[in-house]
C-alpha cells in the first residue's frame, strides 16, 4: 500500500474513533441524567412515576423546540392525527357536530354527502342523546367525535331526538372510511353537498381551501371544470385561516394555473438553491381569480398566493393571460419548510425545518423574530385591495363563516344571518365581487 494511502487510512480511523467516543460519551451522559431523574425525582403532591420513555420524549421535544417555533417531536398519537389530516381520510360516520348555543345539546349540523351517517338516516338538526348507550350530556364536541370514530365495519349505536318526533329514535351507523374535502364551497346544502356559487353573483364561484392535504390539487382539478360547465366566470379562492400543509400539494395546485416551465417557488436549503418549475398539462387560465388572505394564511397557502400573484398578467406561450388579485390583509409569514422523519418501533416522528422558500420573483416570505412592519415578509394584498379588519370584526367574521358552512341555522339573536348574502357580511368577498364587476 502506498505510504500516502496508509497515512490517510490512519487519519480516517482516528477521526472515526474520536467521533464514536464523543457520541458514546454524550449518550452515556444523557442516560446517566435520565437514571438520576427516574430514581430521585419527586415533586410535592405528584405521586406519578417518571419513566425513561417520558424523559426521552421530553428531551426530544425540548431539543427540537429550541431550534425554531416550527420544529417539534410528534408522539405516536399526534403523528397519526397529522397523517390522518394530510391523508384526508378517517374511520368514522361522516357527521359534523356542534353544541347548540342555548341548550348545549350535541347537534348534527351537516352530513358529508354519501357518508355512513347519511345512509343510516341521520339528519341535520338531530340531537344526539347517547353514543353506544353513554349520555352525551356535558360532553364537548371533540369528546363526542372521539367516541364516534373507530375502525371501519364497527357499528356505533346512537339515540337521537328529532324535531317533531315524540320519542328518541335509535339509529345504528356502521363506521366506514370517510374522505374529507379540503376544497369546500360557500355553504353545505341539506343533502350534504356543497354549493360553490355565491348567491346573486352572476357566475362567481367560491372555494375555501381549509388545508393542503394529499388530495387538495386533485379536488381542484375536478371542481374547476365542473364549475366552468355550470357557467363560472370568476373564482374566489379563500385561503384565510389556512395553516398550510404539504409543499407538494401547494406546488400541484399552482401547476393547474401556471404555464409550463415558469417558476412556482424557490427552495433554499443548507446546501442548495432549487427552483420548482410548473410542469406540462392542462391549465386553467380563462377566468379571473381573487385570492383572499389574512394574518392566519401561512406556509403552503403563502406559496400559492405568492405564486399566482407573481404570475398575474404574464402572457403564456399559448397567448393566455391569468388575472389574479390578492385581497385582504398581510399573510402570516412562514417561509420555512419542515420535513417529517418517522422514528423506529412506532415511536412517533420528528419534524424540523430543512429549507426556506421565496416567491418566484424572489420576495422574502419568512417573518424573522426581529422583523418590522416595513420589512419585506409574508404576502401583501395587491395595491387597492387591502381589507383591514379589527380583531373583534375578524372573530365575528370567522364565527359567521363557521355558521354558514352548516346545513342548518345555529345562529342566535344578534348574529349576522349565516344564510344571507356573503357580500353583506364579508368585506373581502365584497371587494372580490367588485373586482369581477370591473
pLDDT surpasses 60 at 1: no
Which one is predicted more confidently, 40 or 14? 40
d(CA 191, CA 172): 20
| pLDDT of res. 43 | 78
| pLDDT of res. 40 | 82
pLDDT (average), residues 384-412: 95
d(CA 415, CA 404): 11
pLDDT surpasses 70 at 301: yes
- Assign domain 89-179 to a CATH class: mainly beta
| pLDDT of res. 2 | 53
pLDDT band at 38 (very low <50, low <70, confident <90, very high): confident
pLDDT surpasses 70 at 18: no
At 343-355, the pLDDT tens digits run: 988 889 999 999 9
At 109-150, the pLDDT tens digits run: 999 999 999 999 999 999 999 999 999 999 999 999 999 999
| pLDDT of res. 152 | 95
Beta partners for 341? Answer: 350
pLDDT surpasses 50 at 19: no
| pLDDT of res. 16 | 45
| pLDDT of res. 241 | 96
User: Percentage of residues in the chain with pLDDT exceeding 90?
Assistant: 81
Domain ranges of the chain: 89-179, 183-437
For 103, list phi and psi in degrees, rounded to 5. Answer: -90, -15
pLDDT surpasses 90 at 375: yes
Task: Return the minimum-mean-pLDDT range out of 5-9, 338-342, 415-419.
Answer: 5-9
Mean per-residue pLDDT over the chain, rounded? 91
pLDDT band at 319 (very low <50, low <70, confident <90, very high): very high
pLDDT surpasses 90 at 97: yes
d(CA 229, CA 232): 7
| pLDDT of res. 438 | 83
Q: Which residues, including other chains, have CB under 8 Å from residue 35's CB and lie 6 or more apart?
A: 52
pLDDT surpasses 60 at 11: no
| pLDDT of res. 41 | 80
pLDDT surpasses 80 at 9: no
Do residues 332 and 302 make contact, with C-beta atoms less than 8 angstroms apart?
Answer: yes
- Assign domain 183-437 to a CATH class: alpha beta
| pLDDT of res. 5 | 43
pLDDT (average), residues 18-35: 67
Do residues 257 and 311 make contact, with C-beta atoms less than 8 angstroms apart?
Answer: yes
d(CA 253, CA 244): 13
Q: Which residue has the cell 371501519?
A: 152
Beta partners for 178? Answer: 90
d(CA 403, CA 418): 6
| pLDDT of res. 21 | 43
At 157-179, the pLDDT tens digits run: 999 999 999 999 999 999 999 99
For the chain, what is the HEC assignment?
CCHHHHHHHHHHHHHHHHHHHHHHHHHHHHHHHHHHHHHHCCECCECCCCCHHHHHHHHHHHHHHCCCCCCEEECHHHHHHHHHHHHCEEEECCEEEEECCCCCCEEEEEECCCCHHHHHCCCCCCEEEEECCEECCCCCHHHHHHHHCCCCCCEEEEEEECCCCCCCEEEEEECEEEECCCEECCEECCCCCEECECCCCCCEEEEEECCECCCHHHHHHHHHHHHHHCCCCEEEEECCCCCCECHHHHHHHHCCCCCCCCEEEEEEECCCEEEEECCCCCCCCCCCEEEEECCCCCCHHHHHHHHHHHHCCCECCCCCECCEEEEECCCCCCCEEEEEEECHHHCCEEEEEEEEEECCCCCECCCCCCCCCCCCCCCCCCCCCECCCCHHHHHHHHHHHHHHCCCCCCCCCCCCCCCCCHHHHCHHHHHHHHHHHC
At 402-415, the pLDDT tens digits run: 999 999 999 999 89
| pLDDT of res. 226 | 98
Amino acid at each position: 500500500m502506498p505510504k500516502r494511502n496508509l497515512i490517510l487510512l490512519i487519519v480516517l480511523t482516528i477521526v472515526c474513533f474520536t467521533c464514536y467516543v464523543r457520541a458514546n460519551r454524550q449518550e452515556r451522559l444523557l442516560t446517566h441524567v435520565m437514571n438520576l431523574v427516574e430514581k430521585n425525582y419527586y415533586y410535592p403532591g405528584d405521586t406519578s412515576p417518571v419513566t425513561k420513555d417520558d424523559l426521552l420524549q421530553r428531551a426530544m421535544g425540548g431539543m427540537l423546540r429550541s431550534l425554531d417555533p416550527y420544529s417539534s417531536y410528534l408522539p405516536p398519537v399526534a403523528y397519526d392525527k397529522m397523517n390522518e389530516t394530510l391523508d384526508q381520510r378517517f374511520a368514522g360516520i361522516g357527521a359534523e357536530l356542534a353544541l347548540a348555543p342555548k341548550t348545549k345539546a350535541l347537534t348534527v349540523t351537516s352530513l358529508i354527502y354519501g357518508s355512513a351517517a347519511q345512509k343510516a338516516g341521520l339528519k341535520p338538526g338531530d340531537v344526539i342523546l347517547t353514543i353506544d348507550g353513554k349520555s352525551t350530556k356535558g360532553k364537548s364536541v371533540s369528546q363526542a367525535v372521539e367516541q364516534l370514530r373507530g375502525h371501519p365495519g364497527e357499528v356505533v349505536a346512537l339515540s337521537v331526538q328529532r324535531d317533531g318526533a315524540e320519542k328518541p329514535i335509535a339509529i345504528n351507523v356502521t363506521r366506514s372510511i370517510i374522505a374529507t374535502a379540503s376544497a369546500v364551497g360557500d355553504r353545505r346544502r341539506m343533502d350534504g353537498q356543497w354549493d360553490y356559487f355565491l348567491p346573486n353573483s352572476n357566475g362567481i364561484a367560491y372555494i375555501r381551501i381549509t388545508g393542503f392535504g394529499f388530495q387538495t390539487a386533485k379536488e381542484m382539478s375536478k371542481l374547476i371544470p365542473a364549475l366552468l360547465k355550470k357557467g363560472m366566470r370568476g373564482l374566489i379562492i379563500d385561503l384565510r385561516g389556512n395553516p398550510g400543509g404539504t409543499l407538494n400539494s401547494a406546488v400541484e395546485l399552482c401547476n393547474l394555473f401556471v404555464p409550463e416551465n415558469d417558476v412556482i417557488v424557490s427552495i433554499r436549503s443548507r446546501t442548495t438553491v432549487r427552483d420548482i418549475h410548473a410542469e406540462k398539462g392542462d391549465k386553467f387560465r380563462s377566468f379571473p381569480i381573487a385570492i383572499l388572505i389574512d394574518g392566519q394564511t401561512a406556509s403552503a397557502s403563502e406559496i400559492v398566493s405568492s405564486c399566482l400573484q407573481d404570475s398575474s398578467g404574464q402572457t403564456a406561450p399559448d397567448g393566455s393571460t391569468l388575472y389574479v388579485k390578492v385581497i385582504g390583509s398581510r399573510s402570516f409569514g412562514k417561509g420555512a419548510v419542515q420535513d417529517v422523519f418517522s422514528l423506529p418501533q412506532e415511536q412517533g416522528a420528528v419534524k424540523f425545518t430543512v429549507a426556506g422558500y421565496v416567491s418566484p420573483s424572489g420576495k422574502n416570505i419568512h417573518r424573522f423574530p426581529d422583523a418590522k412592519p416595513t420589512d419585506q415578509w409574508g404576502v401583501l394584498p395587491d395595491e387597492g385591495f387591502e381589507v383591514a379588519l379589527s380583531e373583534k370584526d375578524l372573530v365575528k367574521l370567522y364565527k359567521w363563516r363557521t355558521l354558514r358552512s352548516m346545513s342548518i341555522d345555529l345562529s342566535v339573536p344578534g348574529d349576522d344571518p349565516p344564510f344571507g348574502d356573503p357580500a353583506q357580511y364579508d368585506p373581502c368577498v365584497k371587494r372580490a365581487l367588485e373586482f369581477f364587476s370591473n
